[in-house]
């Protein structure tokens, strides 16, 4: 558990730093670009390239989770897992390039904005190329117990690059076209740097070993590749379908509005990223040893800790989002849609309350069920988006996400309970849940007249003291209590 706490804390700090910087850039972008259509364009460059990345990473992460613990050998170059990942990445890039070349123009379907998309659509392929490299090589780095490098490059350094580009654009030192070029480049840089890191960190660069190429292991690898592609197909639908469907059924402008609120809600996930990244490695090693005690402990603690953090950020975000949008007239378009943040945030909080369930399933013998759950999730998301966007516009997309995630996370919990008797929801979790509900109820009534900056500062201080003070007094989380008390001793 110690390695989870250490790396999760470090990752959370850099995640927050990157998220704050990224949040500032995201919130400033609508103020300086010509219109919300340009914000929508940026979102579609991200979502379309991301769709290909999740589809054609060739299941390398699943190969690592299932096989790397068995072949871990630093002096022997880990039996060539690094070059195996690069080879699979190149295959995935080739498939992506072929499909994008023939079908890329058909992905968006908003005739009024097609000229804008066609002008910058060529940037999607280099984004696909380097994002696949990053995703796979970062997965390799995580198996070396280094989860920091990927977080730093993807969450922080790329945001610094975008921020510098935005400043140059605001100062009219570059045109809007070059700002978009630099925006696309920010997705490419992490792939280059993480590959350099992996080659430096690996003591011996070797081709995949004879043992890894044995018929029995090749059969497993082919199965994991097929599984990974099917998992990626359903996963890409889940992550990107709402933006693509809003683009098709509404407009680029609506994509821009939804994206800003979607991104604001994703802030709630930031602390969980560090915990889940390293927990996945620890759980994978625990399954290799058949150490059910460690898995159960990680599962129980993750449910309480992630729920507390997620609900705190949700309540805080809900109390500051209106003051933030009141800071500039250009944000007026976002105010009527503020409830999208709340609805998406509730869905994320529900997902966090189920802890690292997906990571546990991914490294167990029931790993294929993650694909089944993702297929169910994809079907639910598409069907619910089609119905709810038609009737409720952007709010409908948010509701579709919440319903779908809740159903699938219930399924994951049920699988782990029936297959392994893993049950994280104990009395301590119930106490934490009651506190979270009371806290959210309190935030709905926290309203008073003050300057937006004053409200943001006061709400942050007040809610932090009230919520985390209650967590310490009720002793809901040993890990969080230790950290908070340590911070009090260090600074007070």
Domain ranges of the chain: 2-491
Predicted confidence (pLDDT) per residue in 244-291, tens digit: 677 667 666 677 778 778 878 877 877 676 677 667 777 877 887 888
Under 8 Å between Cβ of 245 and 386: yes
DSSP 268-305: GGHHHHHHHHHHHHHHHHHHHHT-HHHHHHHHHHHHHH
Q: Is the pLDDT of residue 221 over 50?
A: yes
Average pLDDT over residues 343-364: 88
Predicted confidence (pLDDT) per residue in 421-471, tens digit: 888 888 889 999 999 999 999 998 888 888 888 998 999 999 999 999 898
User: Which pLDDT score, from 0 to 100, does residue 107 have?
Assistant: 60
pLDDT grade, residue 111 (50/70/90)? very low
Closest CA to 398 of 308, 270, 264, 307: 264
Calculate the alpha carbon distances from 370 to 62, 66, 418 in Å.
11, 14, 15
pLDDT grade, residue 110 (50/70/90)? very low
User: Which pLDDT score, from 0 to 100, does residue 251 have?
Assistant: 65
Q: Is the pLDDT of residue 16 over 50?
A: yes
Read off the pTM. 0.70
Closest CA to 413 of 474, 482, 351, 368: 351
Under 8 Å between Cβ of 19 and 263: no
Q: Rounded mean pLDDT of the chain?
A: 81
Q: Rounded distance, CA 11 to CA 16, Å?
A: 8
């Amino acid at each position: 558990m110690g390695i989870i706490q250490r790396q999760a804390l470090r990752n959370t700090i850099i995640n927050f730093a990157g998220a704050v910087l990224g949040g500032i850039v995201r919130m400033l972008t609508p103020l300086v670009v010509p219109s919300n259509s340009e914000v929508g364009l940026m979102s579609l460059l991200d979502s379309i390239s991301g769709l290909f990345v999740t589809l054609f990473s060739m299941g390398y992460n699943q190969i690592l989770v299932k096989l790397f613990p068995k072949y871990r050998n630093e002096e022997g170059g880990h039996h060539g897992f690094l070059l195996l990942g690069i080879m699979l990445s190149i295959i995935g890039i080739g498939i992506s390039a072929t499909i994008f070349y023939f079908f890329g123009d058909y992905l968006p379907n908003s005739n009024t904005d097609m000229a804008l998309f066609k002008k910058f659509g060529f940037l999607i392929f280099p984004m696909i190329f380097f994002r696949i490299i990053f995703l796979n090589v970062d997965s390799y780095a995580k198996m070396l117990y280094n989860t920091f490098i990927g977080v730093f490059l993807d969450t922080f350094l790329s945001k610094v690059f975008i921020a510098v580009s935005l400043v140059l654009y605001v100062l009219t030192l570059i045109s809007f076209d070059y700002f978009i070029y630099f925006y696309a480049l920010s997705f490419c840089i992490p792939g280059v740097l993480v590959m350099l890191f992996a080659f430096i960190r690996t003591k011996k660069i070797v081709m995949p070993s004879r043992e890894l190429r044995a018929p029995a292991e090749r059969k497993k690898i082919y199965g994991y590749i097929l599984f990974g592609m099917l998992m990626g197909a359903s996963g890409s639908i889940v992550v990107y379908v709402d933006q693509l469907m809003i683009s098709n059924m509404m407009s680029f402008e609506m994509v821009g509005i939804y994206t800003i609120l979607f991104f604001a809600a994703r802030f709630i996930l930031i602390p969980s990223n560090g915990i889940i990244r390293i927990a996945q490695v620890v759980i994978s090693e625990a399954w290799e040893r058949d150490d059910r005690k460690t898995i159960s402990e990680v599962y129980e603690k993750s449910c309480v800790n992630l729920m507390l953090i997620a609900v705190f950020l949700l309540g805080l975000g809900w109390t500051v989002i209106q003051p933030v949008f009141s800071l500039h007239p250009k944000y007026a378009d976002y105010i009527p849609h503020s409830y999208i943040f709340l609805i998406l945030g509730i869905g994320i909080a529900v997902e966090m309350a189920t802890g690292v369930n997906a990571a546990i399933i991914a490294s167990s013998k029931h790993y294929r069920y993650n694909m089944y759950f993702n297929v169910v999730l994809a079907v639910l998301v598409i069907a619910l988006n089609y119905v709810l966007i038609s009737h409720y516009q952007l709010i409908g997309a948010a509701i579709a996400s919440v319903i779908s995630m809740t159903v699938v996370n219930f399924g994951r919990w049920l699988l782990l309970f029936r297959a392994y008797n893993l049950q994280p929801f104990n009395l301590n979790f119930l106490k934490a849940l009651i506190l979270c509900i009371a806290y959210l109820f309190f935030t709905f009534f926290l309203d008073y007249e003050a300057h937006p900056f004053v409200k943001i500062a006061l709400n942050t201080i007040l809610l932090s003291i009230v919520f985390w003070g209650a967590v310490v007094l009720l002793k809901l989380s040993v890990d969080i209590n230790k950290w908070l008390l340590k911070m009090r001793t260090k600074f007070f």
